[in-house]
């Protein structure tokens, strides 16, 4: 009997999962349906480079439907309700979808409305249009005070704010206005990054480049009129240009379906990725509440385990592997240099050296992603 | 002393890695009223350093850090 696999979301998590499953399971053994309504699939890591003119936006997007392999039923619809007890999902179109396996890869959303003053004052580089808007703002910037930081934790791609800051420093030097610019970096913890040894590396770099660090800074509000960003901890910093990562939450329909609290992030088993007592409901990528980076690489590692597990189950085989918390990220640290961090639940990352190879890896990552990774080949 | 104080809110962040317990504490702080006592259970050793630093900077009161069996408890009072 053929199994019904239903995947929610057509971003990195949903697309990689669908393609990997299709490679592993013969068509007569399983129908694979993906619900999603994204016209374009955006390679988000390029958002760090677009504001500096280092990447052309058109190279960072592909039509979403072109990325699914043959034999996948891609439906332009959006899930609005999940009923895990009755194995049903309701779509925005009014259609109802049933399943044997449900995979939730609906990512997260930005909630600027959580911070008063955000919409009128802050810029960021976390989506396609915002990166272009920030590029234009930087292009018109002649000097002053730039404040950068995540407004709160969690946020996607934890190294992105400091990687952006490294590149901003170089960009301002190239334009000859670094000496007319103060760069301030705010972070919600009492260091520059979540992981202590990476933080040491980042703080050393900030010191060398004259970047001013404000720790324990959880953004509470922004006063657009007086151009001040205020923290929950009682500190205020003035700015001329504010680059603030918006707060993140999981999707509202996940909360409304009872699968998560107000944060919208789903609690799943950290090794098996299944939700609660259901061994046929899984979540991966940014949608989960796992203590791992919200990043495409996380979804990629998780999909490797999950696709194999489901394929083995459907074929009647056994599968004893699990997801070990693997995450990898490569960040540009300077001209021609980058660093790759790799870590798992049990193994902290080591930030030992910069390398040219990592830089090349980073610079070709959109091509690698669109031609291999998202297709389920790697 | 801790036995005399009953927290208004207990956040069980055991099993969660840094910065999970601290962010859970900040979330509970945002939802609490002035005068409320919040307890956070954690198994992550980093929280022992991070949570008091946050409590101090935000101008709140650290009641104590207590070793429990297999975890520890950080107790704070919201004063502002």
Please indicate whether, in this complex, the C-beta atoms of B49 and A233 are within 8 angstroms of each other: no
- Which two structure tokens, joined as six digits, stand for B17? 């890695």
Q: Is the pLDDT assigned to residue B2 strictly greater than 60?
A: no
Q: Where are the alpha helices (DSSP H) in A96-242?
A: 118-121, 128-139, 160-174, 196-209
- 8 A C-beta contact, residue B5 and residue B63: yes
Using an 8 Å CB-CB cutoff, list chain A residues near B50.
Answer: 189-190
Neighbours of A279 (CB within 10 A): 12
What is the CATH classification number for the domain harbouring B52?
Answer: 3.30.110.40
| Mean pLDDT computed over A27-43 | 97
Q: Where does a domain end: A286, A310, A325?
A: A325
β-pairing verdict for A61-63 and A40-42: antiparallel
**pLDDT value of residue A291:** 85
Position A170 in a domain: yes
Position A71 in a domain: yes
Are residue A300 and residue A274 in the same domain, yes or no?
Answer: yes
Are residue A123 and residue A243 in the same domain, yes or no?
Answer: yes
Q: How many domains does chain B have?
A: 1
In terms of residue numbers, what domain contains A220? 112-247
- How many alpha carbons fall within 13 Å on the CB side of residue A35? 26
Using an 8 Å CB-CB cutoff, list chain B residues near A291.
Answer: 16-17, 20
Structure confidence by residue, pLDDT tens digits, A317-341: 999 999 999 999 899 888 888 988 8
Are residue A187 and residue A298 in the same domain, yes or no?
Answer: no
Structure confidence by residue, pLDDT tens digits, B18-73: 788 998 899 899 889 999 999 999 998 889 999 999 999 999 999 999 999 999 99
User: CB-based contact (8 Å) between B18 and chain A?
Assistant: yes
User: CB-based contact (8 Å) between B39 and chain A?
Assistant: no
**pLDDT value of residue B3:** 56
What length is written for chain A? 378
User: CB-based contact (8 Å) between B58 and chain A?
Assistant: yes
Q: Where does a domain end: A214, A247, A280?
A: A247
**pLDDT value of residue A343:** 85
Chain mean pLDDT for chain A: 95
Position A355 in a domain: no
Q: Please, what is the end-to-end C-alpha distance for chain B in angstroms?
A: 23
ipTM score assigned to the predicted complex? 0.86
Q: Is the pLDDT assigned to residue A351 strictly greater than 70?
A: no
Q: Is the pLDDT assigned to residue A360 strictly greater than 60?
A: yes
Question: Quick one: which of B57, B75, B78 has its CA closest to B11?
Answer: B75
All residues at 6 or more sequence positions from B8 whose CB lies less than 8 Å from its CB, including other chains: B32, B33, B36, B37, B38
Are residue A31 and residue A67 in the same domain, yes or no?
Answer: yes
Question: Quick one: which of A326, A334, A327 has its CA closest to A359?
Answer: A334
How is residue A161 annotated by DSSP? H
Q: How many domains does chain A have?
A: 2
Q: How confident is the model at residue A352 (pLDDT cuts 50, 70, 90)?
A: low
**pLDDT value of residue A349:** 77
All residues at 6 or more sequence positions from B65 whose CB lies less than 8 Å from its CB, including other chains: B48, B52, B72, B73, B74, B75
Are residue A98 and residue A16 in the same domain, yes or no?
Answer: yes
All residues at 6 or more sequence positions from A223 whose CB lies less than 8 Å from its CB, including other chains: A117, A229, A230
Q: How far apart are CA A8 and CA A31, in angstroms?
A: 14
Are residue A10 and residue A129 in the same domain, yes or no?
Answer: no
For the packed helices A160-174 and A196-209, what is the interaxial angle rounded to 10 degrees?
20
- 8 A C-beta contact, residue A123 and residue A134: yes
Q: How far apart are CA A15 and CA A68, in angstroms?
A: 7
Q: Verify whether residue B38 is a known catalytic residue.
A: no
Please indicate whether, in this complex, the C-beta atoms of A234 and B30 are within 8 angstroms of each other: no
Choosing from B9, B12, B18, B37, the catalytic residue is B18
Please indicate whether, in this complex, the C-beta atoms of B30 and A232 are within 8 angstroms of each other: yes
Are residue A17 and residue A69 in the same domain, yes or no?
Answer: yes
Task: Count helices and strands (H / E) in chain B.
Answer: 2, 4
Using an 8 Å CB-CB cutoff, list chain A residues near B26.
Answer: 188, 218, 232
Position A74 in a domain: yes
Position A353 in a domain: no
- 8 A C-beta contact, residue A23 and residue A376: yes
What is the CATH classification number for the domain harbouring A181?
Answer: 3.50.50.60
Are residue A77 and residue A22 in the same domain, yes or no?
Answer: yes
Location of structure tokens 């929610």: A8
User: CB-based contact (8 Å) between B38 and chain A?
Assistant: no
- B24/chain A closest Cα distance in angstroms: 10
Are residue A45 and residue A145 in the same domain, yes or no?
Answer: no
Are residue A21 and residue A99 in the same domain, yes or no?
Answer: yes
Position A289 in a domain: yes
- 8 A C-beta contact, residue A308 and residue A329: no
CA distances from A323 to A272, A299, A346 (A): 6, 11, 12
β-pairing verdict for A79-83 and A73-76: unpaired
Position A348 in a domain: no
What DSSP element (H or E) covers B44?
none
Any idea what the Cα angle at residue A207 is, between residues A167 and A197, rounded to 5°? 85
- Which two structure tokens, joined as six digits, stand for A340? 């790759």
Q: How far apart are CA A326 and CA A270, in angstroms?
A: 11
In terms of residue numbers, what domain contains B7? 2-77
Give percent of chain A with pLDDT exceeding 70: 99
Are residue A141 and residue A230 in the same domain, yes or no?
Answer: yes
Please indicate whether, in this complex, the C-beta atoms of A291 and B46 are within 8 angstroms of each other: no
Q: Is the pLDDT assigned to residue A214 strictly greater than 60?
A: yes
Q: How confident is the model at residue A348 (pLDDT cuts 50, 70, 90)?
A: confident
**pLDDT value of residue B57:** 94
All residues at 6 or more sequence positions from A110 whose CB lies less than 8 Å from its CB, including other chains: A126, A127, A246, A247, A248
Using an 8 Å CB-CB cutoff, list chain A residues near B79.
Answer: none
Position A272 in a domain: yes
- B50/chain A closest Cα distance in angstroms: 7
- 8 A C-beta contact, residue A189 and residue A215: yes
Are residue A164 and residue A261 in the same domain, yes or no?
Answer: no
Q: Where does a domain end: A227, A247, A267?
A: A247
Q: What is the distance of C-alpha A28 from the center of its chain?
A: 34
């Amino acid at each position: 009997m053929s199994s019904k696999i239903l995947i929610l979301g057509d971003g990195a998590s949903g697309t990689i999962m669908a393609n990997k499953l299709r490679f592993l399971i013969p068509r007569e053994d399983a129908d694979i349906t993906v619900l999603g309504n994204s016209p374009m699939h955006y390679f988000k890591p390029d958002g760090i480079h677009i504001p500096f003119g280092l990447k052309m936006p058109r190279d960072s997007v592909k039509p979403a439907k072109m990325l699914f392999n043959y034999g996948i039923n891609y439906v332009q619809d959006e899930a609005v309700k999940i009923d895990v007890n009755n194995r049903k999902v309701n779509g925005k179109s009014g259609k109802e979808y049933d399943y044997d396996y449900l995979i939730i890869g609906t990512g997260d959303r930005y909630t600027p409305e959580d911070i008063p003053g955000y919409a009128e004052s802050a810029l960021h580089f976390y989506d396609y249009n915002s990166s272009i808007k920030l590029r234009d703002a930087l292009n018109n910037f002649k000097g002053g005070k730039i404040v950068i930081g995540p407004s709160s934790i969690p946020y996607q791609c934890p190294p992105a704010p400091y990687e952006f800051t490294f590149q901003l420093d170089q960009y301002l030097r190239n334009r000859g206005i670094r000496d007319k610019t103060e760069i301030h970096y705010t972070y919600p913890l009492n260091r520059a990054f979540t992981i202590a040894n990476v933080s040491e590396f980042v703080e050393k770099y900030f010191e060398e480049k004259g970047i001013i660090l404000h720790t324990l800074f959880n953004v509470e509000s922004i006063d657009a009129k007086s151009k001040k960003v205020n923290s929950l901890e009682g500190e205020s910093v003035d700015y001329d240009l504010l680059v603030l990562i918006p707060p993140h939450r999981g999707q509202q329909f996940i909360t409304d379906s009872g699968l998560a609290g107000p944060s919208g992030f789903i609690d799943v088993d950290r090794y098996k990725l299944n939700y609660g007592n259901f061994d046929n409901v899984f979540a991966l990528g940014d949608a989960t509440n796992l203590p791992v980076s919200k990043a495409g690489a996380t979804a990629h590692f998780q999909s490797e385990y999950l696709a194999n597990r489901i394929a083995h189950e459907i074929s009647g085989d056994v599968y004893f592997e699990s997801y070990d918390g693997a995450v990898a990220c490569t960040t540009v640290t300077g001209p021609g240099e980058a660093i790759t961090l790799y870590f798992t639940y049990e193994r902290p990352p080591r930030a030992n050296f910069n390398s040219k190879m990592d830089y090349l890896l980073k610079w070709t990552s959109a091509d690698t992603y669109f031609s291999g990774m998202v297709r389920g080949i790697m | 002393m801790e036995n005399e104080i009953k927290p208004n809110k207990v956040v069980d962040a055991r099993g969660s890695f840094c910065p999970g317990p601290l962010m859970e504490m900040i979330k509970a702080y945002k939802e609490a009223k002035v005068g409320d006592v919040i307890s956070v259970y954690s198994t992550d050793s980093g929280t022992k350093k991070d949570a008091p630093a946050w409590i101090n900077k935000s101008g709140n009161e650290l009641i104590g850090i207590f070793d429990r069996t297999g975890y520890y408890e950080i107790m704070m009072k919201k004063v502002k």
